[in-house]
Structure 1
């Protein structure tokens, strides 16, 4: 079994409420990614920007983007993840898909909808956390505002990677930097955060700060530019760190109830 996971983080600006333009732009970037990369991470709402008016787009766009992700994953032989506004049974979700090259996919609906921007009035709240296995790594993907809630992210299942996709604005970027490192340290896991850059039609400016931290909070990748960041996660190194520093053995035991 492999002990490494090579990850590409795409940090870029987004076209406002224009799924086709975003899919085309991401495809051009994805084509440049080396063949040995295993997982590509896109930002939150990567086909639209952080919109509170998803009804401005056709309700089928979410399904089109999922089909696009399935096609890209198979063609490039890489897993692909990111969230989009998704219309399902009469309601919208901020839904993350994790798509594997073999056509398998997993989904997670954002638990903590961002009330400050009115997200809770537009998108239905998710109820279930997701932990999935890919290439020998246990991965827990979450979305943006979830980062502020450590109980929801608590490593009760011995996951290896905590992954956040986001549209996190410049005005609160220090919190993003601090909380990503904290989530890595307290959960003794790799923590990946992928943010966007540029500005949106809501008047928000984004400065990126996509980053990767190891289980001790060491920064492994960081950028404020329109770029693709690369990192390699090492399962053997993580296991050794946890063996030498058995902090997770002392974690509190609890269960969440709605």
Structure 2
């Protein structure tokens, strides 16, 4: 199954972001991708965290959800919409939700980011909990490729990457990590954490990132990539908008798990 990790440098205009996302999704479809994963907050990176509350959508209703459904159906491709803010009962907080759509445009899965990022090195600081509500449910869905092969897909978002126990619970063939890693933390930890998650779970990883300098002054690390179950980086783009393509092979995954049956040797 050919897959695409979509990298963007999203800004403050919802329309402009969706237009760029569609351009990249069309490119991925043209290049034969069956599954495309957009980055975290592909639709909007506001001046401040609270700005995302202004575009929070309700389930099944909203511009971004319509966009994702229409794009998946029109391009006949599985699409995972990075993340978008979804409304909660508290108007001061939203959920950071990752939605998956089938090639028929049906929303098959929703995952709300469980781990909320907080960081302060004295020069830059972030606290997602100030406007986000943490999710509670590890989420997987079944993705059927055009050749009939089924893939168990585990969802996660950005900061989740630091919590290996989540990925163990997912027990997936393919792990998704849409993200907006900061340049500081990404430079230090992004690739090593992604490769670790692939190796310890003997699974493919699609990591779709924000990558560049944004209108709001934030700088994200980028380096979107696809990694195989042995921990090898199959394809990668450092910065800027683009499409990272790779071919997933179930036989390759099964061979890795058979030759080194570490998943069967777990005792805790």
Normalised TM-score (structure 2): 0.86
SS in 2 for 1:196: coil
Instruction: Give CA deviations for 1:39-73 in whole Å, capped at 9, x if unaligned.
Output: 11110011112751135634449821011100100
Normalised TM-score (structure 1): 0.89
Asked if residue 220 in structure 1 is aligned to residue 234 in structure 2, the reply is: yes
Aligned with 2:34 (options 35, 38, 52): 38
Aligned with 2:18 (options 20, 23, 35): 23
SS in 1 for 2:63: helix
Shift of 1:148: 0.7
Cα distance in 2 for residues equivalent to 1:106 and 1:31? 22
Instruction: Give CA deviations for 1:119-175 in whole Å, capped at 9, x if unaligned.
Output: 112111100000111010001010000001111221x45410111000011112230
SS in 2 for 1:133: strand
Contact 1:35 1:76 in 2 (8 A): no
Are residues 109 and 252 of structure 1, via their aligned partners in 2, closer, same or farther at CA, if it must alter by over 3 Å? farther
Contact 1:54 1:85 in 2 (8 A): no
Match of 1:165 in 2: 178
Asked if residue 149 in structure 1 is aligned to residue 163 in structure 2, the reply is: yes
More moved, 200-209 vs 23-32 = 200-209
Aligned with 1:108 (options 108, 111, 115): 111
SS in 1 for 2:133: coil
> Which ranges in structure 2 are unaligned for 5 or more consecutive residues?
120-125, 145-149
RMSD value over aligned CA atoms? Answer: 1.9
Aligned with 1:233 (options 214, 227, 248): 248
Shift of 1:94: 0.5
Asked if residue 119 in structure 1 is aligned to residue 128 in structure 2, the reply is: yes
Cα distance in 1 for residues equivalent to 2:174 and 2:52? 34
Aligned length: 247
Equivalent residues in 2 for 1:1-258 (5 A)?
Answer: 5-16=1-12, 18-33=13-28, 34=30, 36-49=32-45, 52-54=49-51, 57-60=54-57, 63-81=62-80, 82-90=82-90, 91-102=93-104, 103-116=106-119, 117-135=126-144, 136-154=150-168, 156=169, 158-173=171-186, 174-200=188-214, 203-226=217-240, 227-253=242-268
Contact 2:96 2:113 in 1 (8 A): yes
SS in 1 for 2:41: coil
SS in 2 for 1:212: strand
